[in-house]
Chains A and B, each alone.
Chain A
Amino acid sequence: VQSFQAWARRRRVGFGLWSRPTCRPDRHARCAELTLRALQLHNEEGRSALFEGADVDSLLRSALVAGHDYLLVQSAGSWIRDREALRAALEAEMERGFLVLGHVLDRGEAYYSLHHQCFMVDLERWADLGCPRFGDPGQTPRTLHRPRRSEEAFHHGYTPLWIAPSGERQGYARQEWGWHLIHAGLEAGQRIAPFSRAVRRAKGYLYPGNAEGFDARLAAVRAEASGWGAWAWVANTEETPDVAAFTGPVKTLVSVAAGLAPWALLAQAGFTAGTVVHFVDASADTLAFQRWLLERWDGEGYADAVAAFHRDHPAAGAQPDATPVALTALERQADLRAAWPGLRRLAVHSHRIDLLSADCGRVRAWLGPATMVSFSNVFHSRRTHLGLTESENAEAWQRWLETIEGAWGLGVDPWNRTVAGFISTAAGSPAAVNRCFPPDVLSFFAGEQHWLREANRR
Chain B
Amino acid sequence: MNAADVLALGLPWLRLDLRCDPAALMAEAEAVEARAVPHRANGRGWRSLCLHGLGATATCDATEYGYESEAAAPHAWTEIADLCPRTAEWVGRLPLRRLYRVRYMWLAPGGYVAPHDDSEIRRLGPINVALSQPVGCVFKMEGHGVVPFEPGAAFLLDVSNRHAVINTSREGRLHLIVRGEHHADDPAWADLVMRSWRAER
Residue ranges of A at the interface with B (Cβ–Cβ < 8 Å): 45, 48-49, 62, 65-66, 431, 433-435, 437-438, 440-441, 444-445, 447-448, 452, 455-456, 458
Q: A49-B170, A437-B166 are in contact. Are A456 and B136 (CB under 8 A)?
A: yes
| B contacts, CB < 8 Å to A | 44-45, 108-110, 112, 114-115, 135-136, 138, 140, 142, 145-146, 164, 166, 168-170
Selected A-B contacts with CB under 8 Å, 5 pairs = A431-B108, A438-B114, A441-B114, A444-B140, A452-B138
* The one of A48, A434, A444, A455 that contacts B136, using a Cβ cutoff of 8 Å: A455
* B112 cross-chain contacts in A, Cβ below 8 A: 437-438, 441
Cβ contact within 8 Å between A441 and B168: no
From B45, B115, B170, give the contact of A444 (CB < 8 A). B115
**Interface core residue of A48, A49, A65, A445 (most chain B CB under 10 Å):** A445
Does B115 contact A441, Cβ atoms closer than 8 Å? yes
Q: Which residues of A contact B115 (CB under 8 A)?
A: 440-441, 444
Q: Which residue of A lies closest to B45 (CB)?
A: A433
Whether B135 pairs with A433 at a CB distance below 8 angstroms is no
Residues of B within 8 A of A438 (CB): 112, 114
Minimum Cβ distance to chain B for residue A154 (Å): 37
How many Å lie between the Cα of A438 and that of B43 in the bound state? Answer: 10
**A433 & B138 in contact (Cβ 8 Å cutoff):** no
Chain B neighbourhood of A45, CB < 8 A = 170
C-alpha spacing A444/B115, complex, angstroms: 7
Contact B168 A433 (CB under 8 A): no
Q: By the criterion CB–CB under 8 Å, are A445 and B166 in contact?
A: yes
**Pairs of residues from A and B, 7 with the lowest C-beta to C-beta distance, nearest first:** A435-B110, A433-B110, A455-B135, A455-B136, A444-B115, A456-B136, A444-B164
How far is it, in angstroms, between the C-alpha of A445 and the C-alpha of B137 when the chains are bound?
A: 11
Q: Which residues of B contact A435 (CB under 8 A)?
A: 109-110, 168
Min distance, Cβ B80 to any Cβ of chain A, angstroms: 22
Chain B residues positioned under 8 Å from A66 (CB to CB): 168
Closest to A438 in B: B114
* Measured CA separation A431–B138 after assembly (Å): 22
Q: Is the Cβ of B138 less than 8 Å from the Cβ of A48?
A: no
Q: Are B108 and A433 in contact (CB under 8 A)?
A: yes
Known: A444-B140, A456-B136. A48 touches B109 (CB 8 A): yes
Tell me whether A433 and B114 are in contact (CB under 8 A). no
Q: Beyond A444-B115, A444-B142, A458-B135, list 7 extra A-B contacts (CB 8 Å).
A: A434-B44, A440-B114, A441-B115, A445-B138, A448-B146, A455-B168, A456-B168
A445 to B165, CA, bound (A): 9
Residues in A whose Cβ lies below 8 Å from that of B44: 434
